[in-house]
Amino acid sequence: MNRYLIDFDSDEIEAEYHDVVVIGSGIAGVYTTLDIPEEYDIAILTKETLDVSNSVLAQGGIAVSLGKKDSPELHFNDTIYAGAGLCDEEAVWVLVNEAAPNIEALVKYGVNFDRVNPDELALTREGAHSRNRIIHAGDSTGKEVCDKLIAAVRTRNNIKIKERTFVIDLLVENNTCRGVIAFDEDSSTFKLYLSDIVVCATGGFGQLYAHTTNPEVATGDGVCMAYRAGAELMDLEFIQFHPTVLYHPENKSFLISEAVRGEGALLRNKYGKRFMPEYHELCELAPRDVVSRAIFQEMKKTNSTNVYLDITFKDREYLEHRFPNIFKTCLSYGIDISKDYIPVAPAEHYCMGGIKTDVFGRTKIRGFYACGETACNGIHGANRLASNSMLEGLVFGRKIGDEVTNILKETKGMRSPFKCSYKSNRVKKDLDIDKIRADIQNTMTEKVGIIRDREGLLEAKRKIDNYVELLSDMKNETIRDFEIQNIALLSKLVIESALEREESRGAHYRSDFNKRDDVNWRRHIIKSL
């Protein structure tokens, strides 16, 4: 495998020096940036504009134990249960114990969470939570949080925002981070952003699949650049499918928040029959993997493309207030959720695996940190507990910010010169990149989805391996070229991990190994060069 996706000579490319380079503009990236003192020069590099990320699309809310009958211990227990025996307990303790101070920080940034009264935040419940502990801003929590954090970033003179900047690869020298090489889409030029500290917060990789709640930018770029640079990846086989995504001819990616089920919504098959009590004692509020598989099996049993979510027992005024975005969006497709069942089906939603880190976001490469969905420190185990994702970005973003600040104080802006050149055997190829992308996505959806087996995984592996080989010596000139390299590589690594894990656990379900096997498989699968 070629180390870099392009040939280059650092002497021939424009370079900028920064104290810190942050890749990604979701909650994890932006919050980390804000935690670093204003005396340091920071560049935020984002593939699109600042407001395009998985975080912005997050509807439900943020999990935090604030209720009188709740505690960090209970939140810990629920997280461990959902993670199906693979959670890192140290990381989970950090998550639940440091949740409340980070929520207080968001309130200070002006985030307008829903309240019962001026002094009390409103709390709701989502799948696998034993208490009401989800704070929210209507059904657009992610957007509200991101809007306020981005507004704060824009006021900081020390933060340089580089939009429409695609980061291609991490620059590494003697296992030490030296910066990144990026493509400026507006000028169609390459550029070096040099720094001894790089924070990767590029989000997930939902675009490996045909149906996903993730935006177009979620192509796994950060995970792949880390892998090529020598970082370790962990838990890639655990891909969470959200059970309830709108199923409509014009929209099959709009999330119907778990909070709707938290407010009592029932799942019904095409005959109107409620079916979740047959699958799990927690019914509609069972862990996401359970609900997704139940829906998948119910669709198969009834030969249907979707099931239905029923919240018609709530009146229109309540629904318009509690779920304004969902209500409005569904209505635009002719669905009045106060009267009509919502057609839904599972779609890829979240990746538990990613770049292996410790609780301070540190990777195997010195100076290279990862945070948010692109990172994997073990808090989610085999299946993320609902609404722990934004919390993860906050808690561990702050820990990275504090760690980086201490390093910067010690180094006091010292920078050593960096020179690098790379030459490969890449050649220009006339390939239909969009067709290859669609074929990979369909293959991953059909063979590496909610239910897997060896035969299907091997079939997928053969196809994806051929694409990886075909693309290995292609000259990359556009963002779509870079993305397809990452999509193919990461699909290959996900399939290999899924093949290796011969059991069913959390979001990884093998019909040919349909039992959990703690004796042999209560461990993580690590991928590295």
- Condensed to tens digits (0 to 9), the pLDDT of residues 257-269 reads 888 999 999 999 9
Active site annotation includes 288: yes
- Condensed to tens digits (0 to 9), the pLDDT of residues 359-394 reads 999 999 999 999 999 999 999 999 999 899 999 999
Average pLDDT over residues 320-345: 96
Tell me how far apart the alpha carbons of residues 66 and 51 are, in angstroms, rounded to a whole number.
Answer: 29
pLDDT of 469 above 90? yes
Tell me how far apart the alpha carbons of residues 460 and 351 are, in angstroms, rounded to a whole number.
Answer: 19
Sorted by sequence, the CB contacts under 8 Å of residue 426 that are 6+ apart come out as 2, 6, 7, 473, 474, 475, 476
pLDDT of 417 above 90? no
Active-site residue identified among 228, 288, 398, 505: 288
| Coil vs helix vs strand at 519 | helix
Residue 59 pLDDT: 75
Residue 56 pLDDT: 79
Residue 384 DSSP class: P
Pick the CATH number of 243-348 from 3.90.700.10, 3.40.50.300, 3.30.930.10, 3.30.70.2860: 3.90.700.10
Closest CA to 63 of 25, 92, 89, 86: 92
Average pLDDT over residues 470-478: 96
pLDDT of 414 above 80? no
Residue 230, Ramachandran bin (φ over 0: left; ψ between -120 and 50: alpha; else beta): left
CATH architecture of 427-527: Up-down Bundle (1.20)
Tell me how far apart the alpha carbons of residues 484 and 506 are, in angstroms, rounded to a whole number.
Answer: 28
Among the residue ranges 34-38, 212-216, 268-272, 489-493, the one predicted with the least confidence is 212-216
pLDDT of 227 above 90? yes
Question: What is the helix (H) or strand (E) element at residue 227, kind and residue range?
Answer: helix 221-229
Question: The tokens of 451 are what?
Answer: 């239910």
Residue 52 pLDDT: 81
Tell me how far apart the alpha carbons of residues 45 and 26 are, in angstroms, rounded to a whole number.
Answer: 11
Average pLDDT over residues 435-448: 97
pTM: 0.94
Closest CA to 284 of 262, 254, 269, 308: 262
pLDDT of 412 above 80? no
pLDDT of 110 above 80? yes
Average pLDDT over residues 19-24: 97
Residue 139 pLDDT: 83
CB 6 within 8 A of CB 190: yes
Q: pLDDT over 70 for what percent of the chain?
A: 100
pLDDT of 445 above 80? yes
Average pLDDT over residues 276-294: 93
Question: The tokens of 504 are what?
Answer: 């069913």
Q: Residue 411 — pLDDT band, cuts 50, 70, 90?
A: confident
For residue 186, the tally of other CB atoms under 10 A from its CB is 8
Burial class (CB in 10 A: 0-12, 13-18, 19+), 376: buried
Closest CA to 348 of 459, 236, 213: 213
* Residues of each domain in the chain carrying CATH 1.20.58.100: 427-527
- Condensed to tens digits (0 to 9), the pLDDT of residues 495-509 reads 999 999 999 999 999
Tell me how far apart the alpha carbons of residues 157 and 39 are, in angstroms, rounded to a whole number.
Answer: 10
- 266-268, strands of its sheet edge to edge: 239-246, 342-351, 307-310, 266-268
CB 183 within 8 A of CB 482: yes
Q: What is the number of residues in the chain?
A: 529
- Condensed to tens digits (0 to 9), the pLDDT of residues 156-174 reads 999 999 999 999 999 999 9
* Residues of each domain in the chain carrying CATH 3.90.700.10: 243-348
Average pLDDT over residues 234-256: 94
Closest CA to 165 of 34, 40, 1, 18: 18
